[in-house]
Amino acid sequence: MNKNYTGKCLCGEVTYVAEGPPIVVAQCHCEECRRSSGTGHTVGAMFISEAVALSGKVNEFRYMSSKGSEVTKASCASCGSPVFGTNTRTPDHLTLALGTMDDASGLDIEVVIFARDKPHWDQLGEDVISFATQPDWKPED
């Protein structure tokens, strides 16, 4: 089913419309994804580049993957939110950061990669106390 997915960065400077469905939705625990996201993994939805219309200024950072391809991570030039990535292994494709999507309903993670690099703290047990929103808690002095 064709569906358009819209999204934006935290400040709203970078926006996109992607014509779906995505090719794949993947969660990645590789070191580069962990460091660039500041958390245990990234979740990305891959589309054909032509299917994505993006506007707004992004900063691009490039590095070589362990397989020798060049990876580009693009983040908003104003607020720094990761927005998309590309990899020369899969030219003409880009992967949108799923957390920037306005409504990802109907999309589920289909595959996890670099599972060996998943930090132990990235999967919470059911015993962890959880709040629906920010609790009224402050560090004691």
- Interface with Zn ion (CB under 5 A), residue from 18, 26, 30, 43: 30
Backbone angles phi, psi at 75, to 5 degrees: -130, 155
Query: Interface with Zn ion by CB under 5 A: which range of 33-41, 94-102, 104-112, 130-138?
Result: 33-41
Q: Which is nearer to Zn ion, 9 or 96 (CB)?
A: 9
Report if residue 74 touches Zn ion, rule: CB under 5 A. Answer: no
Report if residue 9 touches Zn ion, rule: CB under 5 A. Answer: yes
Which tokens is 29 given?
């625990």
Q: How far is the CB of 115 from Zn ion (least distance, A)?
A: 11
Number of amino acids touching Zn ion (CB under 5 A):
9
Report if residue 33 touches Zn ion, rule: CB under 5 A. Answer: yes
Q: Quick check: 20 and 2 in contact, CB under 8 A?
A: yes
Q: Quick check: 122 and 37 in contact, CB under 8 A?
A: no
CA-CA distance, 70 to 4, in Å (whole number)? 28
Contacts of 66 (CB under 8 A, 6+ apart): none
Query: Interface with Zn ion by CB under 5 A: which range of 44-52, 72-80, 90-98, 103-111?
Result: 72-80
